[in-house]
Structure 1
Amino acid sequence: MLIRVLRTYLGPYKKPIALLVALQLLQTSATLYLPTLNADIIDNGVVKGDTGFIVQLGGIMIAVSIVQVFCNIGAVYYGARTASALGRDVRAAVFDRVQSFSAREVGHFGAPSLITRTTNDVQQVQMLVLMGFTLMVSAPIMCVGGIIMALGQDVPLSAVLLAVVPVLGIAVSLIVRKMRPLFRTMQERLDTVNRVLREQITGNRVIRAFVRDEYEKERFREANNDLTEVSLSTGRLMALMFPTVMTVVNVSSVAVVWFGAQRIDSGAIQIGALTAFLAYLMQIVMAVMMATFMFMMVPRAEVCAERIAEVLGTDSSVVPPAEPVRKLLRRGHLEVRDVEFRYPGAEAPVLRSVELVARPGETTAIIGSTGSGKSTLLGLVPRLFDVTGGEVLVDGVDVRTLDRALMARTVGLVPQKPYLFSGTVATNLRYGKPDASDEELWQALEVAQAADFVRELEAGLDAPIAQGGTNVSGGQRQRLAIARTLVQRPEIYLFDDSFSALDYATDAALRRALAQETSESTVVIVAQRVSTIRDADRIVVLDEGQVVGTGSHHELMESNETYREIVLSQLTEAEAA
């Protein structure tokens, strides 16, 4: 999987990679040439006392070293640029794919895991590529070239290499083989730490309210300790790698000096040749060590690449239309026709045989007990999910065939949990309409009953909003979310229990202002509070995923027992009447 990811995303960078390989080849060739020059200086210059020869070869060595340095700088430069470009492209691809996911796919992976895959996993692959370009390209060249150059110095002495290289290869492969499953566990436990930390930061108020600080500390400590245990296990194997390699290196160096001294004594080779052979042995071993370092990174990068490929290989259950409809003839007519929705693998559908019609100029309310499928039904309209049976029609056109931009202009959703982005009040309000004027923003704030508290903010529309809107109250957050949708001015307004955090007076004032603002639009409201929906033109009662009643408040009070129970659980008989 790692090779597939690299092949896909390194394809556009063939020219920089080719230049990098050429620079590495030149740099490694220069490195391999230096010990031979040094041997000539010792054997033909130092031993014979020829100062001119020493100066001449010394100058050549300086020139070769300069070439080596500049080639190395160029190779690192292109390697870093290419690795960074790979990381950028993979992150962008993962982000784009996650953006296309429906709520179903996001729930399957989980937000913490998706964040880890987009950041840490991509970084591991990027680091492997960077180290590969700076180390792994030169390692095989140096290893093979070192063996050839060592053979050129003395063939019998090179027999040591026949024992050294296989031993190193076997030792490294055994250690790397044990590291791979540990790296997979490490990434999974990193997901767990990310999830626990995210829950504790997001739920800080709940933790404090229930005085569960110690419990949460213990949860994080357990997750942290689990990650630490795996990290220590991999660390021990990594620590074992270098002593193993250095032991083989030192033993082989002793063997070379021992046998080399005997061959010098017999006159078979000269001192300079032995010096060069030792240098080549060290270069071969360094190449193996560089490859060893790379092999330590490969298992983790391979696991990360599999996790990335899993995201990239997951298709959204909400498929874009092949030939999208880009124009609607009518304005804001919504119809839900015999709709069924079930989650994958679920025994029973969440919604079944649901029928609903919402017309322009009317307010349609949906009410039901918790878990009856109200929010799921509303999410089918803007395609947060896709129906598994039946149709959702906007102006007579199935929403699955609508162009996304047209859908955004036609349908405005205020979700059950309003979310504000980090920025300012103005940037949040302009989220659906970037070119909206300040007058439009203030108009939307007035309708949403949010103008007063925004004016009280020191910077007004430019007042900062923290991520998630955590620096404003729940009611203020809901009103800003409603104002954001009003700025967009869609033809169909969907309010998913969007008034739950408001007091009764603000709720009533907002609904009065909203009725005037949306008098020609289609309004669908999901609510738990009866007072919010009792004046709706049509009320749809859901119970266990089915429509069990449709009508006005008074009609349902007389004819529908489910609705009557809901109303009387909140109001007295007199108030209900």
Structure 2
Amino acid sequence: MVKFSGTVMDLLLPWILAYIIDEVVPEADIARVVQWGLVMVVCAFIAVLGNVTANRMASSVARDSMRVLRNDTFTAIMNLSCGQVDNFSQSTLISRMTSDTYNIHQIMNSMQRMGVRAPILLIGGIIVTMTLDPVLSAILASTLPFLAIVVIYVAKKGIPLYNTHQKASDVMIGRVRESITGIRVIKALSKGDYERERFENINLDVVEKEKKAGIAMALTNPVMNFLLNVGWVMIIFVGAVRVNAGLTAPGKIIAFLTYFTIILNAMLSVTRLFVMFSRAGSSAERIEEILQARSDIKNQDANDNKSCDESLPYIVFDNVSFSYNGNVDNLSDISFSLEKGQKLGIIGATGSGKTTIINLLMRFYDVSSGKIFIDGKDIRDYDVGVLREKFGAVFQNDIIFEDSVSENIKLGRNITDENMKKAAKASCIDSHISQMDEGYDSFLAIRGNNLSGGQKQRMLISRAIAGNPEILVLDDSSSALDYKTDAAIRKNIDEMGKNTTTIIVAQRVSSVLDCDKIIVIDEGRIAACGNHDKLLKTCAIYARISSLQSGITQ
């Protein structure tokens, strides 16, 4: 309403000017001229005040809407399963959270400003001009169908081009992210020029696609300017003839030209809106894909009240198979069991499927066939949140956040300072924390760049054990630790959580030799299962790994 009032005042000003020229001035009444001049000043003031107020309100609405949209998009991304994140890719998720939401913000802001003002000026200007001079209005109206054809054609062509451009941008973001993550490797191998060349090729592709979209959308302004200026010339010519013939008044021609300028600017504003709408429409579709996506790890199918089979061991893998791509199995016929409080070691070659077992146990992915039980109940009968609260985990390439030491250990969980310090002591990181300037309040750099590799792993282990989990998962968590520290941490963990079921995924035989059960994985299958002594005698793969690691076997 505020924007409407200000815009109507803009439409009244040329009409009042025409009235003064044609009706008031010929009477030579200065008082009436001043009176109507003051009316114009009031209208101008209301127009400025209304438009400024409306623009401020529009900016606030766009800002708050984007805050909600970004929050909803981030929440939707966090709720995606690992498989869905793999399908979307991290680079496109980053792009949709940043550039796509920015495009939506732009159109929301512009629609509330130009989107309200331009149609009122356009339609209102046409209506007023028809009351001033129907003949000249007919000339103006004759240009409108051509303008509509241009707008519709360009908008129809622009959206697919912007879709293509956004996909190219996703690829570029992925390349940048990859290069920044691996910058140390790039520098170490002196491959800066090679990476710059790879980036340049992707960047040129993005530029080329953006140029095509830009050229298509840029046709609107010159074409519309040409059509409207042709109409303007015709109006001036016809208007001059009609004034000379006494069929209309000079004031009406002046007002008509002013309204024509208003209509011209309104049409250009509508055109700009179509350009922005084309880009925003593409972005909206990409964001909608995220918001409409529902995790294929479904909470709503959970049944936490379902009875448990108490005769089953605490953890059971029952003939489990799984494939990431749906074609070739990454795991086949995995079966084993583990009693509560026992320790399981998983060892095998790189890429054999060790981490995949952990991903299935924590239900980051659902099994292709078979079943997994925890505490006598199929994990698919648990609410996902309840299931994962049972775990404390350290994953391969796990992350340290840019936050304080205490927050990196607690990670938003209801963990007391006492338990936090016990966990830090058990993971042998407490001595390093005490040497830091502010102790547990000291800030860590992003990805823990101010920590060594061993310090990172010990910090991550303290995070995993601080919550006193029922199941502790250590996935290659000691690769940067020396043997003495590794052994000390394993001993501390055993003493700290005697009832905790522990699963250790490792490359070192020393990390698993004291486990109650050790599984040897080979090409997605269990090659052997037993304790250290048994496997040395019965499993050639395990014996070979052990013999290659000097000092491990006696």
Q: What TM-score comes out, normalization by structure 1 length?
A: 0.91
How far is the alpha carbon of 1:454 from its aligned partner?
1.7
Distance in 1, matches of 2:411 and 2:381, equals 24
Match of 1:145 in 2: 124
Three-state SS of the structure 1 residue aligned to 2:361 is coil
Name the SS of the counterpart of 2:304 in structure 1: coil
Identical amino acids, percent of aligned pairs: 34
Counterparts of 1:120-135 in structure 2 under 5 Å?
120-135=99-114
Asked if 1:362 is matched to 2:342, the reply is: yes
Secondary structure of 2:488's aligned partner: helix
Residue 115 of structure 2 aligns with an amino acid whose one-letter code is M
Deviation at 1:245, TM superposition (A): 2.4
Instruction: Give the deviation of 1:432 after TM superposition.
Output: 5.7
Secondary structure of the corresponding residue to residue 275 of structure 2:
helix
1:106 corresponds in structure 2 to 85
Q: Is residue 2:137 matched to residue 1:158?
A: yes
* SS of the residue 1:318 aligns to: coil
* Range that drifts further, 66-75 or 94-103: 66-75
What's the counterpart of residue 253 of structure 2? Answer: 274
CA RMSD of aligned residues (A): 2.1
Q: Would you say the 8 A contact 1:409–1:488 is kept in 2?
A: no
| 1:444–1:112 Cα change, 3 Å | same
Equivalences for 1:320-399 in 2 at 5 Å?
320-325=299-304, 333-346=314-327, 348-399=328-379
Give the Å deviation of 1:82: 2.5
For 1:515, the equivalent position in structure 2 comes to: 494
Question: 1:323 Cα shift?
Answer: 4.7
Distance, in Å, in 2 between the alignment partners of 1:64 and 1:506 is: 81
Q: What is the distance in 2 between the residues matched to 1:119 and 1:576?
A: 53
Corresponding residue SS for 2:503: strand
Q: Which runs of 5+ in 1 are unaligned?
A: 1-21
Deviation at 1:235?
3.5
Mapped partners of 1:172, 1:327: distance in 2: 60
Structure 2 residues not aligned, in runs of 5+: none
- How much does 1:29 deviate? 2.0
Per the alignment, residue 491 of structure 1 pairs with 470
Once the two structures are overlaid, the 10-residue window that deviates more, 479-488 or 40-49, is 40-49
**Matching of residues 285-324 of structure 1 within 5 Å:** 285-324=264-303
Partner residue of 2:161? 182
CA distance, structure 1, for counterparts of residue 25 and residue 452 of structure 2: 84
Alignment partner of 1:71 out of 50, 70, 81: 50
Query: 2:354·2:505 contact (CA, 8 Å) conserved in 1?
Result: yes
CA contact (8 A) 2:313 2:337 kept: no
Number of paired residues?
552
Q: Distance in 2 between matches of 1:552 and 1:32?
A: 89
Query: The residue matched to 2:337 in structure 1 has which SS?
Result: strand
Which whole-Å CA distance do the structure 1 matches of 2:206 and 2:92 have between them?
15
CA contact (8 A) 2:306 2:381 kept: no
* Cα separation, partners in 2 of 1:558 and 1:323, compared to 1, 3 Å: closer
Aligned partner of 2:454 in structure 1 is: 475
SS where residue 337 of structure 1 aligns?
Answer: strand
Indicate conservation of the 8 Å contact 1:448/1:510, yes or no.
Answer: yes
Q: TM-score, normalised by structure 2?
A: 0.94
The answer as to whether partners of 2:433 and 2:439 remain within 8 angstroms in 1 is yes
Cα distance in 1 between the residues matched to 2:330 and 2:302: 30
AA aligned opposite 2:229: N
Amino acid paired to 2:392? G
**Match of residue 427, structure 1, among 370, 384, 407:** 407
CA distances 1:66-112 after superposition (whole Å, capped 9, x unpaired): 22223223322332233223322222222111111121111111111
User: What SS does the aligned partner of 1:489 have?
Assistant: coil
Q: How far apart are the structure 1 equivalents of 2:422 and 2:14?
A: 80
Offset at residue 265 of structure 1 (A): 0.7
Q: Which amino acid aligns with 1:363?
A: K
Do the aligned partners of 1:358 and 1:524 also contact (CA within 8 Å) in 2? no
Give the direction of change, closer, same or farther, for the CA distance of 1:361–1:167 in structure 2 (3 Å limit).
closer
Contact 2:313 2:376 in 1 (8 A): no
**Partner AA of 2:534 in structure 1:** E
Q: Secondary structure at the match of 1:320?
A: coil
Whether the aligned pair in 1 keeps the contact of 2:155 and 2:275 (CA below 8 Å) is: yes
Partner of 1:443: 422
Distance 1:370 1:316 in 2: 29
Change (3 A) 1:564 1:499: same
The answer (yes or no) to whether the contact 1:326–1:406 under 8 Å persists in 2 is no
> Which residue of 2 is the match for residue 535 of structure 1?
514
Paired residue for 1:116? 95
For residues 273 and 385 of structure 1, what CA distance do their matches in structure 2 show?
74
Q: Which moved more, 1:397-406 or 1:156-165?
A: 397-406
